[in-house]
């Protein structure tokens, strides 16, 4: 073990939850040139109650404007090993499946060029290599690129898109999120590596409204699988659930857990007759009943995606969730997802032209107004885009009768 004294950190070693301190300590043995000082600085932070990093904006690899985040310590004399401690973002395979072979390759690179510490994964979904020096960047990149691994987004770029595991393993997936996001990621390579937007732009895709990749809340453009037709019912399995309902030991209650929790109250259950009826025209596709009875209920067959735009963290104008732009878009693999790409194109064109500096697309929409924004993107107004129509009378009528004409006519 490293001989750096870290009495405070040591209290977080071991335990039942895997310890990050132990990870750093192991790497301090393995790659001491960075990690002894990493430990030292962290222990200092734990004692003086503050971080000790400074941002560095200038690091990168030739030709790319993204993928590297510069960091310097503010106490270089005490911890020269982390005087520079930049991170490298690498695009992971969509869906985050790996072979040990692939992982070992990446780990080998990182042992060679960096601290051996990493995040699997960053919250945007990148592989994060944590801590290296400026003059190692190009060298590392030579090797990664040669092996077919690419750098991820950062800065005012299209960030690394991400997907839930979707059809690879999930019975609820309405769209093939992994195929879609792999395709889109390749489509946005230039925008990902050469930031030219007013600010960052994130794309995430979830296979259904459960939204396991948090697209609705954390991506400027969210693609979320949905269906248009009826929820499919497996009659035999439904019978089993009714049986479960009637057995008090099972703790399963068809009325309280299913019907009464339906947000649109469109499920009628008759436990005596063992019937369940869904008024699908009122169903908001929330997934709840399907989640509760995954064997009996299934998403419909006429599937596509809701397209939402504008989610973001609070800075500056307050947090936003994505707002519905297109209530239903077919996600057509055979057409190379052209409809979606067209929308993306239009969005970027408008935003590059009209977005203000450091203004996320959601803030642009708020500023110009949703109705106006839809018009610019040639999208139809649809009541699914709103919770409710306006309650204020400040309507800007741009259609009205021309008095001269009327008078003349």
- ∠ CA 52-86-218, nearest 5°, is 90
| Site track 345-384 with another protein (rule: CB under 8 A), x = hit | -------x----xx-------x--xxxx-xx-----xxxx
* 78 within 8 A of 114, measured Cβ to Cβ: no
Closer to another protein by CB, 253 or 339: give it: 253
Half-sphere exposure of 164 (CA within 13 A, CB side): 25
Residue 314 interacts with a copy of itself (CB under 8 A): yes or no? yes
Residue 286 interacts with ligand SF4 (CB under 6 A): yes or no? yes
- Residue 278 interacts, among ligand SRM, another protein, ligand SF4, none and using kind-specific CB cut-offs from 5 to 8 Å, with ligand SF4
CB-based burial label for 300 (10 Å; 0-12, 13-18, 19+): middle
| Site track 33-72 with ligand SRM (rule: CB under 6 A), x = hit | ----------------------x-------------x-x-
Residue written as token pair 């947000």: 263
* 4 within 8 A of 39, measured Cβ to Cβ: yes
Residue 211 interacts with ligand SRM (CB under 6 A): yes or no? yes
Measured between its terminal Cα atoms, the distance across the chain in Å is 93
Rounded Cα gap, residues 89 and 154, in angstroms: 8
**Binding-residue total with another protein (CB under 8 A):** 199
Choosing from 50, 334, 394, 400, the residue that interacts with a copy of itself (CB under 8 A) is 394
Residue 331 interacts with ligand SF4 (CB under 6 A): yes or no? no
Residue 392 interacts with another protein (CB under 8 A): yes or no? yes
Residue 389 interacts with a copy of itself (CB under 8 A): yes or no? no
Closest approach, Cβ 257 to another protein, in A, equals 6
Bridge partners for 278 per DSSP: 267
Task: Give the closest residue to 157 by CA, choosing from 110, 206, 196, 210.
Answer: 196
Q: What does the binding site for ligand SRM look like in residue numbers (CB under 6 A)?
A: 55, 69, 71, 87, 89, 119, 121-126, 128, 152, 160, 164-165, 170-172, 202, 210-212, 214, 218, 291, 312-315, 360
């Amino acid at each position: 073990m490293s001989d750096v004294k870290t009495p405070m950190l040591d209290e977080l070693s071991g335990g039942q939850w895997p310890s990050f301190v132990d990870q750093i300590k192991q790497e301090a043995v393995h790659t001491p040139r960075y990690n002894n000082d990493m430990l030292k600085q962290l222990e200092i932070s734990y004692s003086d109650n503050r971080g000790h990093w400074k941002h560095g904006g200038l690091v990168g690899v030739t030709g790319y404007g993204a993928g590297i985040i510069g960091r310097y310590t503010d106490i270089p004399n005490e911890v020269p090993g982390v005087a520079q401690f930049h991170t490298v973002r690498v695009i992971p395979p969509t869906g985050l499946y790996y072979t040990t072979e692939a992982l070992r390759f990446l780990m080998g690179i990182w042992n060679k060029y960096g601290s051996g510490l990493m995040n699997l994964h960053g919250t945007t979904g990148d592989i994060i290599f944590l801590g290296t020096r400026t003059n190692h960047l190009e060298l590392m990149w030579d090797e990664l690129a040669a092996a077919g691994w690419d750098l991820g987004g950062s800065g005012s770029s299209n960030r690394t898109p991400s997907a839930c595991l979707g059809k690879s393993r999930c019975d609820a997936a309405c769209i093939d999120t992994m195929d879609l996001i792999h395709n889109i990621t390749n489509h946005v390579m230039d925008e990902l590596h050469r930031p030219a937007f007013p600010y960052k732009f994130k794309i995430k895709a979830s296979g259904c409204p459960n939204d396991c990749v948090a697209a609705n809340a954390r991506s400027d453009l969210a693609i979320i699988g949905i269906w248009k037709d009826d929820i499919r019912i497996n009659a035999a399995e439904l019978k089993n659930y009714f049986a479960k309902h009637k057995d008090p030991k099972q703790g399963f209650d068809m009325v309280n857990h299913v019907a009464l929790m339906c947000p649109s109250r469109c499920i009628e259950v008759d436990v005596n007759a063992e019937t369940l009826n869904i008024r699908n025209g009122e169903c908001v596709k929330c997934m709840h009943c399907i989640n509760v009875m995954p064997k009996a209920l299934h998403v419909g067959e006429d599937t596509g995606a809701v397209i939402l735009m504008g989610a973001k963290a609070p800075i500056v104008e307050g947090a936003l969730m994505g707002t519905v732009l297109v209530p239903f878009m077919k996600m057509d693999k055979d057409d190379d997802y052209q409809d979606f790409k067209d929308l993306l194109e239009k969005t970027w064109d408008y935003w590059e032209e009209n977005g203000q500096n450091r203004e996320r697309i959601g803030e642009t929409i708020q500023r110009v107004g949703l109705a106006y924004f839809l018009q610019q993107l040639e999208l139809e107004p649809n009541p699914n885009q709103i919770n409710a129509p306006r309650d204020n009378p400040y309507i800007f009528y741009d259609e009205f009768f021309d008095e001269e004409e009327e008078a003349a006519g």
